[in-house]
Structure 1
Amino acid sequence: MTRRSAAQVPEGRGHVVAVVVPEPRDAVGPVGREAPGAEIAVVCLRPGGKDGRAALDRALAAAEARGCRVRGGPRVLDADAGNASAALAAELLAIDPERLHTLDPDPVHTGVDEATGVLSYGVPDEHAETAAVVLAAARAHQAATGRPLYVECRRAERVPGPGDDTPARYPVPVNWLSAGFDGRLSAFLPTAAGVVRWHEEVPGGRWRGPELLEGQGLLPGLLVIRDPHGLPHLLALRRTARGDGGADVEVVHAAQYRTGRPPTPWLTLGGPNSAAWRKGREVGFPAAAFDAAGDLHVFVRNFGHSVSHRRRSADGTWTPWQHLSGLRVADELVAVTAEHGGVELYARARDTPAVLRWYPGPGPGGAWSEDRTLPFAARPGTLAAAAEPGAVLFRDARTGRTCFWRPGAPGPYPLDDPAPETGADGPTAVAPGVELAGWGYSVLVGKGADGGCSLGAHPAARPDTGVWWQDVGAPSYGAPAAAVSRTGRLAVATRLPGGRLLVARRDESREDGLVLGGWRPVA
């Protein structure tokens, strides 16, 4: 592995993290996930019980021992339900966090009373109520400060895998960097107040941003995909309060057709269960891809934990939501464009690390089929589309190695060394179309075991020949991203603690190697 010095990377603002939960016991998991270097402040709406406070004290002590800084014990809001938002807003101003952890505002049901149809949940009602209050306060805080506030909401149920962790309600965007027709880059990230964007004024020149894109009620998750022309399309979930005290959650879509110009208004796609808001609010986060004809295919996990699909033809006509039968799935779906020109779907199973695949039948409107025989299992939160048609990348559930699989292969291809139980994790982004010494390559970018950005490359369509990895000398909070311009120039972006972005382009003077130029701070 080639290593480069990180000395040229500028320092960012302090990495301050707020954990806002109903009681101290609910903060144990988020505190335990924080990496060294974070500065943690815990806010609780209620004091909770003695056992919960003791468990949090132990978690905070362990966080300090591994290199985190803790801002004292948990702050308990002295507020009733009527003024909790105001009290929380004051705490956030005092803490001034970069990131915020809270719970799931729309938990999934665990049962249905057959006689009354009333839904039951495996978590107390105050979990969702607290999360809704926290999201509103986080939006207000971002509006007041003008700085992006990144929010992570966690579900209550645990998923199989290392650490038996709880899943994120809204996924981290895998490839949030995009190159326009003129070579200018755009970066998109989800925040408490909606999607923020940075863009270059000229290729390789000064950046503008972060700019908050219009869109009320967007939840803190984002999917960025590219159409056949390379233009970025954004998909998200939007939550709207109802007059009866409930909330509608719907899938929304927007597109950027010119770098630096406003994207299209967010178009609602509704959801497969939107006729009944209590069911509709449970919709999973969307996955999407374009087929060779330019049709956009959108998939979500529905109320019954199977998959629903909707398609927009190239002329702008949308089909109704269609239910695809099959096994129950988790909130981890990835859509890919296959060699046959159609779109296929991968999804991690709900109760095991197994991965399922759906593919369409021949001809327009062909019936969907499910494949349950895929010869691999994936760690939660690591499924991503590969550069090769119809293929996926993931981390092996047992070894943690980054792997590649395409339909028809007898097994997955490992692309790196076994990963430790902690460290390297998360999805791997891809950037196809990079030329090295006259040959086409696909570039992979991910977060390494030491928290830095790692870059890999393999010959186009031949990941089985091996990947050459290098540490490119930049830290990365969250998943780094990569983009290739129409002229083939590679750019890589990471996010520094403190909220700033770093971007580096390939050094074009080094035709025989994959070498990045200096890292430049964006914001």
Structure 2
Amino acid sequence: MTRGLDRRARPRRRTGEARPGPAGLLLLVVATPADAIALLGAEPPGVPVGVVCLGRGGAGEREALGAALSAARDLGHRIAGEPYVADSGGDPEELLLDVFLDLGPTRVGTLDPDPMSTAVEGPELRFEVVEPPERGRAALAAVRAARAYQEQTGRPVYVDCRRAAVDPRAPLEAASRYPRQSRWLTRGADGRLSLHLLSAAGVLRWTETAPGGPHWEGPELLETPSELMPGLVVLQGADGYVRLIGLRRATDKGEEALEVVTAAQYQSGRPLGLWQSIDNPHTRVWHLARQVGFPAAALDAEGSLHVFVRNVGHSVSTRRQDRAGRWSAWQHLRGLRVADEMAAFPAWDGGVGLVARSRDDAQAVHWYYDRAAGAWAEDRTVPVRVAPGSLAAAPEAGGVRFRYAETGEPCFWRPGAPAPVGLGGTAGSGAAAGAAGAVLQGWPCTVLVQAGRGGTVEVGAHADGRPEDGTWWVPSGVRSLVAPAVALDAAGRVVVAVLDTEGRPRVTRRRPDPAGLEFEPWQAL
């Protein structure tokens, strides 16, 4: 079931060429065989999967992985040969790069490069990482080798990092260290649509050649900071500018940390502005600065950018950039301990709100800026129960979308409402995206997209501002590796985008003057 590979004895000529692997191959990279089992169990049937272990692990690990692979085959997974198990030492990034060139993956799945710490009881508050250190080293080697592979071959590869200490049955959306992109289709001031997807080597962009399409140019690899971790926030304000926000691994005096970075695209198809670091709340304490959560962000009515992160103590820290570009200091919002799942959104009063899922259960908490008090306030009386991996800002100002924890049904909630509104559709996973202002049969409507049962993308619609009137859904027949995206093009037509199971973006447009949600054939970009 396993085979040893001494990669130091078999160096590959680095020509930039890679052998073609199975289309859409997912390569799981772990420290030991036991670590691959949860990653394997989170994938839906039919996915071609390979496994690479950087160590042999303890007694029984290989046998347990063999049993898991056999069960996966029975469920319909296509297992790409036997697992690779390294027999010897050497540079893990070099070893992995050789394997990537051998197998040609589309996706790389691994664990958390920067595991969360837990509080340690004692006279002083301390935080310690309890994960075996080899897990983080293997994950970081996988992230870096994937970047090198894409830079050498030019083939996009996408990386997912999963927390180790999570339910093995949980879908990736619910267990990811870095949230999967839920907004990545935007319309610029000139009317052209753009796609922004984070690959191992940086941000890839596709842009319409003319407003309304149908032709696109790309992918274009944008100038991106080195060591950008596999997560990306794509944010757009009333000015049409697209802001990208992520986490970068930084090094200073031999110590490594994570810092929040941001850049802006001011015109469709034009180069990004310079990436700017805004540090993180624990910049001066390096072992803590490696463990912050992924940022959430929103723009207020004045155009100021608000960034929020989960800090090492599992509360929230925030920082604000005004329209002149000046940043405030990090501010600690004390209150309910939260998970790495937050949605920031423009509030009805012109400010910004934040909803976050509790660290310990499905409870949620709402933060808002109390203008009268001149301070952030916390509301724990939020009548929602959030399924992990499903929380996102709604396209309507002042609300969030999420899946109800007990049923998986997509819901909408606006702060102050006594209960959320169910949106129907089949139970699924991940965030539901939306675009308001589409005209359907003469009525202004909000169009939604979600991954339904089995991961198949569904498209739904309800009257603008009235989700309680009912939402109707239609299946699209395709699956997406990330949350599907939706926007309106320059002609007001609904455009849906997916990243298909072979790692290629596809788009479809609503047919002109259809009876309902009828779309043209999918177009591969």
TM-score for the superposition, normalised by structure 1: 0.92
| 233-242 vs 219-228, which moves further | 233-242
**How far did residue 231 of structure 1 move?**
2.5
Quote the residue 2:165 is aligned against: 157
Q: 1:340 to 1:398 in 2, by over 3 A?
A: same
Quote the residue 2:293 is aligned against: 284
* Whole-Å separation in 1 of the counterparts to 2:214 and 2:470: 35
Quote the residue 1:224 is aligned against: 234
Greater length-normalized contact order (CA 8 Å, ≥ 6 residues apart): 1
Kept after mapping to 1: 8 A contact 2:409/2:423: yes
Quote the residue 1:504 is aligned against: 508
Q: 1:164 to 1:212 in 2, by over 3 A?
A: closer
Quote the residue 1:180 is aligned against: 188
Q: 1:78 to 1:159 in 2, by over 3 A?
A: closer
Kept after mapping to 1: 8 A contact 2:293/2:309: yes
The root-mean-square deviation of aligned C-alpha atoms, in Å, is 2.1
* Whole-Å separation in 1 of the counterparts to 2:286 and 2:120: 15
SS in 2 for 1:217: coil
SS in 1 for 2:293: coil
Quote the residue 1:460 is aligned against: 464
| 434-443 vs 12-21, which moves further | 12-21
Quote the residue 2:394 is aligned against: 386
**How far did residue 197 of structure 1 move?**
1.1
Quote the residue 1:192 is aligned against: 200
SS in 1 for 2:419: coil
How many residue pairs are counted as aligned between the two chains?
A: 503
- From 349, 356, 376, the equivalent of 1:347 is 356
- From 40, 43, 46, the equivalent of 2:49 is 40
1:432 corresponds to 2:442: no
For structure 2, list consecutive stretches of 5 or more residues without a partner in the other structure: 1-20
* Whole-Å separation in 1 of the counterparts to 2:195 and 2:170: 31
Post-superposition CA distance 1:19-52 (Å, at most 9, x none) = 0101000000011111122111100011112322
Q: 1:319 to 1:164 in 2, by over 3 A?
A: closer
* Whole-Å separation in 2 of the counterparts to 1:342 and 1:117: 34
- From 66, 79, 84, the equivalent of 1:70 is 79
* Whole-Å separation in 2 of the counterparts to 1:483 and 1:508: 16
1:256 corresponds to 2:259: no
* Whole-Å separation in 2 of the counterparts to 1:236 and 1:254: 9
SS in 1 for 2:429: coil
SS in 2 for 1:50: coil
- From 312, 331, 342, the equivalent of 2:321 is 312
For structure 1, list consecutive stretches of 5 or more residues without a partner in the other structure: 1-11
**How far did residue 482 of structure 1 move?**
0.7
* Whole-Å separation in 2 of the counterparts to 1:289 and 1:195: 20
Q: 1:91 to 1:108 in 2, by over 3 A?
A: same
TM-score for the superposition, normalised by structure 2: 0.91
Kept after mapping to 1: 8 A contact 2:173/2:179: no
Kept after mapping to 1: 8 A contact 2:22/2:48: no
Quote the residue 1:520 is aligned against: 523
**How far did residue 161 of structure 1 move?**
9.3
Kept after mapping to 1: 8 A contact 2:259/2:278: yes
**How far did residue 164 of structure 1 move?**
11
Quote the residue 1:137 is aligned against: 145
* Whole-Å separation in 2 of the counterparts to 1:113 and 1:77: 38
* Whole-Å separation in 2 of the counterparts to 1:458 and 1:206: 29
**How far did residue 486 of structure 1 move?**
5.2
Q: 1:161 to 1:39 in 2, by over 3 A?
A: closer
* Whole-Å separation in 2 of the counterparts to 1:290 and 1:90: 44
1:480 corresponds to 2:490: no
Post-superposition CA distance 1:221-263 (Å, at most 9, x none) = 001111122332111001123442x312100111111111111
**How far did residue 368 of structure 1 move?**
0.8
Post-superposition CA distance 1:147-178 (Å, at most 9, x none) = 11111111123269968997211111111111
- The residue correspondences of 1:258-407 to structure 2 (distance < 5 A) are 258-362=267-371, 366-407=374-415
Post-superposition CA distance 1:424-477 (Å, at most 9, x none) = 211000111111233211110011213322111101110011101111233322
1:88 corresponds to 2:96: yes
Q: 1:13 to 1:266 in 2, by over 3 A?
A: farther
* Whole-Å separation in 1 of the counterparts to 2:425 and 2:395: 20
* Whole-Å separation in 2 of the counterparts to 1:472 and 1:144: 35
**How far did residue 323 of structure 1 move?**
0.6
Kept after mapping to 1: 8 A contact 2:101/2:149: yes
**How far did residue 78 of structure 1 move?**
3.1
